[in-house]
Chains A and B, each alone.
Chain A
Amino acid sequence: MTDLQWADLSNQAIAAAGVVYFLALIAYFAEWSSLRQVDRARAAARSSSYAGAGSVAVATGPERPAVEEPRTDRVAMFGRLALLLTGIACAVHFVALVGRGMSADPNRVPWSNMYEFTISGTFVVALIFLLVQRRWGLSWLGPVVTGFVLTLLMVSVIWLYDSTGPLPEALNSPWLVIHVVSAVLATGAFTIGGMTSAVYLLKRRRAGKPDTGVWARVPSLERLDLVSYRIHAFAFPIWTFAVLITGPIWAHQAWSSYWSWDPKEVWAFITWVVYAAYLHARTTAGWKGRNAAILALVGTATLWFNFIGINYFSTTSQHSYAGAVPAISTVAPATTTVGG
């Protein structure tokens, strides 16, 4: 295949992935609406077993009471369908990334501009969700994940799209793979953690109300808090590695200074500090639970602002990989003077 064909394949695959994510989102909504109907049918026999009391005795176990209504089959069917569609979309998404890398001459990793960073980041969000949803019981997060990925894919296609080019010289380094993989991985995980923290806050606001419909699927507050913590605890060292180890090493090689307060560096640092504060808050009296979850959301906001937003606020960033940027810096010092 020629480079142009690979590029076309990549663009078409992104569009196709977007459509399938959208179908998955619809399937998740169908699952939700079926849940509501199940709920109505079951209103009389409401069980209090998932009320989420503080200490769950181990002996009782978390078994769901069996509900005989045929509606539950619909819920399960739509749930499986949605998961399957998300999986397919993620696979097509991967094809788009491969096509993007193959369309460049010479072939390269698809991480050289904002469009490519964004489609890679969203892919990792979807992939992490698929990998951990069974293990950590996160399937209820599906609509949030697919909605998020779909939105960002649209943003990237509409506003960030850039044709394939060879790797700019400054990016042409093995550190690109190490630095970007770790940064994107941490970004994906933090994003999922932000979602569970948001759901935690929403569920908390409902305190006392019976868990109907979708809310019956969402685990207890304690469980949500625990899952959020674990995701953040997974992502934080990776972020530390990306931002405070590989970033500075590479910056030292390429830009001659391991830390130069470049806007992207500043916001990566801010994000790091906010997540450090989140981990602190979880063990500080008066900050547990709600405030910690708010901090996690602040962290997600700074993370994505750093990912996309800062490029539009600051023009001094050496990380702004817009199409028309010189391969290496061409700015000469203004301080140079001749004696008079």
Chain B
Amino acid sequence: MTATETRPTTPAPDPGRRSGELGVLETLRFAWRQLTSMRTALVLLLLLALAAVPGSLIPQERVDSLKAGQWKEAHETLTPIYEKLGLFNVYGSPWFAAIYILLVISLVGCIVPRTLVYARGMRAQPPRAPRHLTRLPAHTAYVSHEAPDVVLARARAVLGRHHRLRADAGDGTVSAERGYLREVGNLLFHLAVLVVLLGFALGSLFGYKGGVILVTGTPWSNTLTQYDDFVPGSLFDPTRLNPFTFTVDDFDIQWLQSGPRAGQARGFNAKLEYAEGAGADQGAEKDYDLRVNHPLSIGDTDLFLIGHGYAPVITVRDGEGNVVYSDPTVFLPQGPDFFSFGVVKAQDAQPTGIGLEGFLYPTYANVDGNPVNLNGDDLNPVVSMKVYTGDLNMDTAQSVYVLDKSKADTVPGQPGLDTLRIDLSPGQTVDLPNGLGSVSFDGMESWQRIQISQTPGKWIALIGVISALLGLMGSLFIRSRRLWVRVTPTDHGSLVEVAGLDRSGGADTDDVVSKLVARLQPPPDDRPEDT
């Protein structure tokens, strides 16, 4: 905590026993004292900072599972060690938890006794003036020609405005104190940190985060099976899913046509039609423009537009003329120009399975014999895919965005290529050799990636962090100090001693004392009283 440390750091020694000998209770008390000491809190804070570092340098599974997977493949020796240490999930690892739990205990152990002390001291009077004011760090003295009573009365008036005064100060002294709210701010800040942790914990235990890639026009309803990926908190309850359905009716993109970012996308707008409830309880259809920075909230659930791309409609007919695949196929953008990668898997084709893997050029151009993509907008789309046949290894779990070619066969194709490559513009169909079938590119659709999440406790966390900020400002900016004035009668007037004690650790008490002295001077007759 940020106020001056008052507690002794070690327990008082017991003379009746040799050093190093502690009873169980005393050991516990010693451990408690150590844990709740400011020094320990400080070390724990620094440990927390240090422990957070690896998570920013090593890809985290819960932040970016794709990157984490790639990293693991590239570092075969380190991966098992890192996995044991939990370095791919630092912020969920036991050792990270240990640090912040200790910190929370230390915090509680610090604020509870301090709240009690504060509750007792809240109504306390400022302490009596110390006998030797000159021993205080900031002090001064001067001789006044006025009578002691006059000076004392003025001191009470001047200090009484912003300070609490000791009622029974008597004997020619004034004791004043201000800044009682500083400690309130301090306690509020530390309490609020606990509230933030509570809100955060609620979110990560009971919330979830899921995503789905939807081709424009595909209806979607909020049930577990409809998600492409779903990361629930450890205490998430699937019955808490809000029932609703939605469809992206239309998707608009503004493309930059000039300037250094020409060809990149700028504004996106997914026109959403949604309805709350399911089945018979279904509510009325509503419209919403889902945009970046403009999420939709349905019940406790938030929907976000976080990605988009193209889905060329590809149809595969097999050797017998049957349509074995005809779908808008999600291609994943490789960069801001939406040059995209995608695969088609038609395992059921006869006589043999057909797999396609390749790229989409939204605006294709042939520059000196090389295929180039000029723009992210689909002005002249071309798909360029390699053809594989045979076993696509569909019996094992695999990503829908990757073609498993380990058991597949190649097709003899153009010179210099390992297998046949087909290039298609919309409306074109290419027959595959050897009676394999044909592939058509029927048109372009777009897809959107919608993130759907529930974050319970987010309001608790927000209220907590705002209270923490208010408390913090109180504890930093409310000046807490004690001031004393002692007036001793002398032959020609009075000796006035003024001293101050700063209790906030950031004040210029010398300055305060000298200003007080200035205000204790008798008002000169020739000018108005200076406040």
Contact = CB atoms under 8 A, between A and B. Distances in A.
Chains A and B bind each other: yes
Interface size class of A (residues with CB under 8 A): 35 or more
A66 interface: no
Interface size class of B (residues with CB under 8 A): 35 or more
A104 B395 CA distance: 53
Contact of B46 (A165, A172, A173, A274): A274
Interface stretch (B383-391, B418-426, B447-455): B447-455
Interface in B307-325: 307-309
B138 A58 contact: yes
A287 B505 CA distance: 13
Contacts of B268: 169, 327-328
Interface string B486-519: 0000000000000000000110101001100100
A250 B41 CA distance: 31
A151 interface: no
A300 B512 CA distance: 31
Contact of B476 (A169, A237, A324, A334): A237
A72 interface: no
B260 interface: yes
A338 B395 CA distance: 10
Contacts of A285: 5, 9, 38-39
Given A164-B260, A280-B2, A333-B229, A230 B506 contact: yes
A261 B46 CA distance: 18
A249 B39 CA distance: 33
B228 interface: yes
A226 B506 contact: yes
A244 B59 contact: no
Contact of B38 (A58, A284, A314, A340): A284
B333 A326 contact: yes
A329 B209 contact: no
A76 interface: no
Contacts of B267: 169
A33 interface: no
A277 B103 CA distance: 12
Contact of A270 (B4, B52, B468): B52
A24 B294 CA distance: 46
Contacts of A230: 506
Interface string A272-283: 011011011111
Interface string B244-266: 00000000000010011100111
Interface stretch (A87-95, A127-135, A252-260): A252-260
Contact of B508 (A226, A244, A283): A226
Contacts of B309: 330
A259 B394 contact: no
B316 to A, nearest CB: 17
B465 to A, nearest CB: 5
A190 interface: no
Contacts of B308: 328, 330
Nearest to A168: B266
A315 to B, nearest CB: 7
A166 B48 CA distance: 38
A338 B330 CA distance: 14
Interface string A193-237: 000000000000000000000000000000000100110010011
Contact of B292 (A105, A252, A254, A310): A254
Nearest to A306: B56
Contacts of B469: 237, 240-241, 244-245
B472 interface: yes
Contacts of A274: 46, 49
B401 A316 contact: no
Contacts of A329: 306-307, 449
Contacts of A283: 1-5, 38, 505
Contacts of B209: 256-257
A313 interface: yes
Contacts of A170: 292-293
Contact of B455 (A244, A253, A257, A286): A257
A340 B517 CA distance: 87
A334 B399 contact: yes
B232 interface: no
B250 to A, nearest CB: 18
A136 B4 CA distance: 25
Nearest to B506: A229
Nearest to B304: A256
A336 B229 contact: yes
A56 B510 contact: yes
Nearest to A55: B137
Interface string A256-270: 111111110011011
A333 B237 CA distance: 23
B204 to A, nearest CB: 9
Interface in B290-305: 291-295, 302, 304-305
B453 A256 contact: yes
A316 to B, nearest CB: 5
Contacts of A328: 268, 292, 305-308
Interface in B48-83: 48-49, 52-53, 55-57, 59-60, 62-67, 69
Contacts of A339: 397
Contacts of A163: 260
Contacts of A286: 39
A335 interface: yes
A223 to B, nearest CB: 9
Nearest to B469: A240
A261 B88 CA distance: 12
Given A169-B267, A256-B209, A281-B42, A270 B397 contact: no
A43 interface: no
Nearest to A324: B336
Contacts of A229: 505-506
A249 B469 CA distance: 15
A237 B467 CA distance: 12
Contact of B229 (A257, A273, A335): A335
Contacts of A241: 469
A277 B46 contact: yes
A258 B468 CA distance: 17
B122 interface: no
A235 B465 CA distance: 17
B477 interface: yes
Contacts of B396: 340
Contacts of A332: 213, 307, 330, 332, 401, 449
Interface of B: 1-5, 9, 38-39, 41-42, 45-46, 48-49, 52-53, 55-57, 59-60, 62-67, 69, 91, 137-140, 142, 196, 200, 209, 211, 213, 228-229, 256, 259-261, 264-268, 291-295, 302, 304-309, 330, 332-333, 335-336, 394-401, 449, 451, 453, 455, 458, 461-462, 465-466, 468-469, 472-473, 476-477, 505-506, 508, 510, 513-514, 517
Given A58-B140, A240-B465, A337-B398, 4 more contacts: A252-B455, A263-B57, A274-B46, A274-B49
Top 7 closest A-B pairs, CB basis? A256-B304, A263-B56, A333-B229, A330-B333, A266-B56, A334-B66, A273-B49
